[in-house]
Every structure is written in structure tokens, then in C-alpha cells.
Amino acid sequence: MAKIDTTKIEGYEGMSAEEKLAALEGYEMPDADYSGYVRKDVFDKTASELANLKKTHNDLLSDDERKEAEREEELTTLRERVETLEKEKTVSAHKAKFRAMGYDEELASETAEAMADGNTEKVFENQQKFLEAYSKKLKADKFKDTPKPPAGDPDKVMTLEKFRKMSAEERLDFANNHPEEYKKLYGGNE
């Protein structure tokens, strides 16, 4: 049941209970605005007419025409399925190529879809993302594989030649104080 907006009844707040009851009984509810909607009875009538016309049309078609229409509908469905499968195959092939190039799973899928749809702008945008990520990866790998420079002065790095020029006492002192460097010089063979 619809609620009545009592603010639209003039002087409602100051009325007695009997006056309020009389005002509510005499209140006329405005009709709801159904513009833009189709009434149910009109819709039902139109749907019924459409069903009757379809039935009449199908009855009028000859068997050959009906079979031809069914074949045409089936052919259209098959064409749509073939197009869908071809697109999926193309996307899958492109995705495999992008993955082989080093794209991550998500970016490869997105780029393959864009390529199959002919969206070159998205393909170039994703290519730029890939190149930036690849560049960062290369830099990280480069720094990871870079050997750490020896601490101190490079002239103070011991070489086999410098070691042999030392006196026996200096060699013994070096071997005791720097066992790792000594092993590198002689390869662990004493």
C-alpha cells in the first residue's frame, strides 16, 4: 500500500484526530508516472499477436522453405563457432610466441588478444611495458653477475709474482695472515 505524504495536506500538523481522519479520507492520491513503461495488458496482447503471427508464418512456409531456413540458421551458427575457434587459435599461437620472447603470462595473453582484434595501439603499449621490464631485468642480472672489487688499493693485491719476490719470512707471515689469498695463489697446493 502506498504511503501518504502528510506534508502535502495543508495544516495537517495542527488538526485534531477527527479532522486528520476526514482529511485523509478526502485525500486524492496522484496517479503514478509510468511514462516510458508499457502496460502489462498491452505487452501481453502484443506478445500474443507476435506468437500467432509466427505460428501462421511457419504454417505458410512450405517444407522446403522451412528446411532451407533451418539450414541457413545452422550454417550461421557454425560460421560463428568457426570464427570463434579461429580467433582462439590465433590468440593461442600469438600468446605462445610472446611467452617464448619472455613476456609474462598476463601480458602475453593481453597482447595476443589485442593483436587478434587488430588493436595495434594496445600491442605497441604492451611492447613498451615488456621492453621496460626486460631492461630492468637485464640490469639486475648484470649487477648480480658483476664480481665485487677487492677491498683496498689494487696495487696491494697480492700476485704470484709479488709473492715470489718476498723473503721467506714475509711469505710465511702472508700465508698465516691471509690464508684465503694464499690458497688462491697456489690453488690449494703447497
Q: Is the pLDDT of residue 156 over 70?
A: no
User: What nine digits make up the cell of 6?
Assistant: 502528510
Q: Is the pLDDT of residue 1 over 60?
A: no
Q: Is the pLDDT of residue 190 over 60?
A: no
Integer Cα distance of 179 and 12 in angstroms: 104
Q: Find the mean pLDDT for residues 150-162.
A: 68
Single pTM value for the model: 0.42
**One-letter identity of residue 21:** L
- The answer to whether 22 and 30 have CB atoms below 8 angstroms apart is no
Q: Is the pLDDT of residue 78 over 90?
A: yes
Three-class SS of 92-136: HHHHHHHHHHCCCHHHHHHHHHHHHHCCHHHHHHHHHHHHHHHHH
Listed residue (84, 96, 94) closest to 116, CA to CA: 94
Q: Is the pLDDT of residue 56 over 80?
A: yes
Confidence (pLDDT) at 111? 93
**One-letter identity of residue 71:** R
9 CB contacts (<8 Å, ≥6 apart)? 23, 24, 27
- The answer to whether 112 and 95 have CB atoms below 8 angstroms apart is yes
Query: For the segment 82-137, what is each residue's pLDDT rounded down to a tens digit?
Result: 999 999 999 999 999 999 998 999 999 999 999 999 999 999 999 999 999 989 98
Q: Is the pLDDT of residue 149 over 70?
A: no
Confidence (pLDDT) at 48? 95
Q: Find the mean pLDDT for residues 31-52.
A: 84
> What's 170's DSSP letter?
H
- Domains of the chain, by residue range, sit at 63-145, 155-186
User: What nine digits make up the cell of 82?
Assistant: 568457426
Confidence (pLDDT) at 153? 55
Confidence (pLDDT) at 60? 77
Confidence (pLDDT) at 107? 92
- Classify the C-alpha dihedral 80-81-85-91 as positive or negative: positive
Q: Mean pLDDT for the chain?
A: 84
